Structure 1
Amino acid sequence: MRTDGHRHVLVVGASLAGLRTAQALRERGHTGALTLVGDEPHPPYDRPPLSKRVLTTPGHPPDVELPLPRGLEARWQLGQAAVRLDPAAKTVTLADGTRLSYDGLVIATGSAARAWPATEPSPPAGVLTLRSREDARELRAALAVSRRLVVVGAGFLGGEIAAAARERGLDTTLVEAATQPLRRAVGTIAGAYITALHREAGIDLRTGTTVEGFLNGADGRLTGVRLSDGTTVRADTAVLALGGTPSTSWLAGSGLAHDGGVHCDPYLRVLRTDGSVVPDVVAAGDVARVPQPLADGRRLALGHWTDAVEQAATAAATLLAGQHPSEPFAAVPSFWSDLHGARIRSVGLPAVADETRVVEHDLAGRRLEISYHRAGRLVGALTIGRTKRLASYRAALREGLVTEGTAGPSSPR
């Protein structure tokens, strides 16, 4: 796409990735028309606080809206989801039938909460999910009048919801199909540490357990959850924290490769099903499956806040560069979580490691430091209560990405 001031860039997705890409476009010199489309009626807002401060702050819930950059000069199309993309005609159709043309397109539609399987009976009233601002308000109101909560899924989101419920004094059961919380993401050592954090906080953590069904009273509301371990847990409210699914249904029939997220090349250019590049279309955020050097180039959709921010700059640069992009996405992935007063921070991709090295392990002192390696090469690190130590790991990982093709650093310590 030329940087001609008369050109129109359409950003589909008005959350963090979409907003930051629009901002980066302006900062990099795009002076043409700019339109942001969002399926929710709200201006962009920050999602991480939804499972933390929004659930625990007394009184009025905190404001989570993202500040709008000065000089954005964008047209907003909010409350209308995109339902169809025609790359040949360069048009996007919205749910109300509006057809928007574009010269450059940013796909930043994020992900949706994974629903209860359609093959199972529908859950009763009182079984919730958490993804949007409305979801958070509904859950916050439910926690205010509930005594017993069941959270299904002990990943990052489920763990944070369970911790928030315990902070509010609810009897909380956390159900996890795997043998440990976050085992696939951070390994068995960190998984065991997080298990201990939950149980010390008074959470009834059931690992290796799944939900077999829900019970409801005469009014149709939830009264209990039936588990695979043969028990039934009483509950006023339950939350399904089963992970996310990239929001790509609107791309059906477009010719884009979008299984498990929109497939991208290293410059965040979107690919067709045959692997060729779609002209003038980029993706960013939770919806984007991006090659990860730390995972031997496999395309992954990580769904982390930092990815949405860092991919925005690359997506904007690629879109403005036209056929000759020169800035591949090469940021070091990172994520964070807060559980029961423990500050969990990670860089790299611990999930792809074949070796874990423990530097410090102190449950009583709320301190943990682990490095992760693959074929002897550093691929990630995780700390609890040792955030400052991540800087050296991040630098080592970045150096390893810059010197691609070498063995990379084994450890910064």
Structure 2
Amino acid sequence: MIDPAPTGTCAPRSVVVVGAGLAGARTASRLRDLGFTGRVTVVGDEPIAPYDRPPLSKHLLDRPQPTWLADDLDIRLSELADDVLLGTQAVGLEAVADGQGPAYRVGLRDADGTRRTLETDAVVVACGSRPVRPQGWEDALVLHTADDADRLRARLAEVTAAGGRGHVVCVGAGWIGAELAGVLTDAGIAVTVVEAASAPLAAALGEHAGRLTLPWYEDHPGLRLVTGASVVAVRRDGVDLGDGTTIEADVVVAAVGARPATAWLGGTLAGLVDLGPRGAVVVDEEHRPIDATGLPVAGLEGVRVVGDAALRRSPRHGWVAGGHWDAALTGPETAVRSLLGLVDGPAPDPAPYVFSTQLGHELSMFGVPSPQDDVVVRGGDERPGGAGGWTALWFAPDDGRPGRVLTAALAVDRPRDVAAARRLFAGAELPRLDPVVAADPDSRLR
């Protein structure tokens, strides 16, 4: 058991976790699992218990109730935390000196507008992200929270109640947009996906690999894909494109990404916390906020940042954004061990991992591709992206040594390649493979 620290030491006696999503709930769970007996307070801006976000899109129509973390992962905040403050927003964080080591004050705003503060020895920022909705797109729905899912289902129900099949315009062909398009078309709802890039998933995969998914859209009943299109106006009943085209719709959904919900840190910690270009807090391998020199920020020794809010320094992958389920699941382990002084040796450096179901295909991605990488594809039939499954492999530029460094792998409908990629990226260094051998679908990835 790790007891609260005695007076005069810097170990935490109390921890405030800002965020009640997966990253926040996992933080509370790991604190107790690793023996912390001090006071734990969890603050969440949504008024309901923690739930899993991936089912919001994957099971939009067949699972109207949230997938509670208490049921899915056996994480019960009421049993882990001394106080669970739901429907409460964090509005500020400042370091204060209490003469007994670092201490912090967290500003809160309750649902009724009442403001108050909590004082604590340590803070874990796990505040997640917010969907991007550009100015003027107020009539577009988003899909990020359980409330968002309820609103989308209600709008779709209005359409079908009026006797129509329904037509949805989804702006954005990223992870969420493609998942949503598949779920809706499988239910008989026509969908038009509008994407600014030349291919789906271009932001995540690059346009070369993204184009491998184009046949999925061409072959999927009820689905139309418009690429290279800029949206200049969004209305409740459709969108206007930059080329003068108007696409009418019963429902418009904006699926153009999310940004870390860190604006509340900018005022009180201005000049201390380094917010990356997308608003994430830049952290080291132990999830400690770092400055422009790469060193932990003085005065924030008791602060850790996990999940969507963090941009993590990785010895293997460079800078790794949160933004996906696996980061929220694994990051709190390292952050809590660091906070409690339980780090023994270098911090773990897990490979970024993303999984998705898109238009009938199972996707698993490991690593971080770079625009400079060469893409090699193994598997598939004579039609790129066609049936039979395929795996895209990203290789760093040739450095003159045997083999090429594998920076990322995306397996589509190839479970054996998923298992192989998981093993390859579990090593201390990025794997080296012969691209010619790796491209052979009959060879093993190793």
State TM-score, norm by structure 1.
Answer: 0.88
Per-residue CA deviations over 1:114-162 (Å, capped at 9, x if unaligned) read 1213xxx4543xx211111000111112123331111111100111111
Structure 2's unaligned 5+ residue stretches are 7-12, 98-103, 160-165, 398-403, 439-444
Q: 250, 259, 264: which one pairs with 1:250?
A: 264
Distance 2:369 2:330 in 1: 19
- Residues 1:129 and 2:151 are matched in the alignment: no
Give the letter aligned to residue 112 of structure 1: R
Does residue 38 in structure 1 map to residue 44 in structure 2? Answer: yes
1:225 to 232, 239, 242: 239
1:309 aligns with 2:329: yes
1:172 deviates by 1.0
The answer to whether 1:195 aligns with 2:201 is no
- Name the count of aligned residue pairs: 391
Q: Is residue 130–residue 241 contact of structure 1 (8 Å, CA) maintained in 2?
A: yes
Aligned-pair CA distance for 1:275: 4.6
The separation in 1 between residues aligned to 2:379 and 2:207, in whole angstroms, is: 15
Kindly state the Cα deviation for residue 224 of structure 1 after the two structures are TM-superposed. 2.2
Mapping for residues 2-401 of structure 1, pairs under 5 Å:
4=4, 7-53=13-59, 55-57=60-62, 61-67=64-70, 68-69=74-75, 71-89=79-97, 90-95=104-109, 96-117=114-135, 121-124=136-139, 127-146=140-159, 147-201=166-220, 202-215=222-235, 222-252=236-266, 253-254=268-269, 255-259=272-276, 260-272=279-291, 275-277=294-296, 278-295=300-317, 297=318, 299-321=319-341, 326-351=345-370, 354-362=373-381, 363-375=385-397, 376-399=404-427
Asked if the contact 1:185–1:351 (Cα under 8 Å) also holds between the matched residues in 2, the reply is no
**Matches of 1:242 and 1:274, distance apart in 2:** 32
Q: What are the superposed Cα offsets for residues 31-78 of structure 1, whole Å, 9 maximum, x if unpaired? A: 11111000111111100010110x221xx6144111153652431011
The letter for the 2-side match of 1:337 is S
Contact 2:41 2:81 (8 Å CA) reproduced: no
306 and 75 in structure 1: CA distance in 2 versus 1, 3 angstrom threshold: same
Corresponding residue number in structure 1 for 2:162: none
1:373-404: CA deviations, max 9, x gaps? Answer: 113201111111112322222222222xx147
Question: How many Å separate the matches in 2 of 1:350 and 1:14?
Answer: 30
User: In 2, Cα distance between the equivalents of 1:86 and 1:187?
Assistant: 39
> 2: distance between equivalents of 1:122 and 1:156?
20
CA distance in 1, matches of 2:143, 2:217: 20
Instruction: Using the TM superposition, name which of 11-20 and 378-387 deviates more.
Output: 378-387
Residue 292 of structure 1 deviates from its aligned partner by 2.8
TM-score, normalising length: structure 2: 0.82
Report % sequence identity.
35
Asked if structure 1 preserves the Cα contact closer than 8 Å seen for 2:18 and 2:123, the reply is yes
1:219 corresponding residue in structure 2: none
SS of residue paired to 2:199 = coil
Question: For residues 133 and 40 of structure 1, do their structure 2 counterparts lie closer, same or farther at Cα, with a shift above 3 Å needed?
Answer: same
Question: Given residue 56 of structure 1, which amino acid in structure 2 is its aligned partner?
Answer: L
1:185-225, Cα deviation, whole Å (9 max, x unpaired): 1234431232211221131111000111134xxxxxx2221
CA distance in 2, matches of 1:212, 1:88: 47
Whole-Å separation in 2 of the counterparts to 1:9 and 1:327: 24
Distance 1:372 1:22 in 2: 36
Deviations 1:155-183 (Å, cap 9, x if unpaired)? 00111111122112122110100000112
Structure 2 match to 1:218: none
CA RMSD, Structure 1 to Structure 2 (Å): 2.2
Runs of at least 5 residues in structure 1 that lack an aligned partner in the other structure: 216-221
> Hey, which bits of structure 1, 4+ residues long, moved more than 6 A?
none
353 and 122 in structure 1: CA distance in 2 versus 1, 3 angstrom threshold: closer
The answer on whether the counterparts of 1:3 and 1:320 sit within 8 Å (CA) in structure 2 is: no
Residue identity opposite 2:320 in structure 1:
L
The worse-fitting range, judged by mean Cα deviation, of 345-354 and 129-138 is 345-354
Provide closer, same or farther for how the CA distance between residues 107 and 237 of structure 1 changes in structure 2, counting only shifts above 3 A.
same
Amino acid at match of 1:379: T
Which SS does the other structure have where 2:205 is aligned?
A: helix
- CA 1:61–1:230: 2 relative to 1, 3 Å: same
Structure 1, residues 75-113: CA drift from partner, whole Å, max 9, x if none? 101101100000235110101322111111101001100
Query: 1:274/1:87 Cα in 2 relative to 1: closer, same or farther (>3 Å)?
Result: farther
Q: Read off the aligned partner of 1:284 and give its amino acid letter.
A: V
* CA distance, structure 2, for counterparts of residue 3 and residue 319 of structure 1: 13
Distance 1:366 1:232, change over 3 A: farther
Q: Distance in 1 between matches of 2:433 and 2:304?
A: 32
1:366 and 1:245 map into 2 onto residues whose CA distance is 35
Q: CA deviation at 1:233?
A: 0.7
Return the offset for 1:348: 1.3
Secondary structure at the aligned position of 1:313 is classed as helix
Q: Distance in 1 between matches of 2:244 and 2:394?
A: 37
Change (3 A) 1:122 1:197: closer
Whole-Å separation in 2 of the counterparts to 1:357 and 1:73? 48
Q: Mean Cα displacement is larger for which, 82-91 or 237-246? A: 82-91
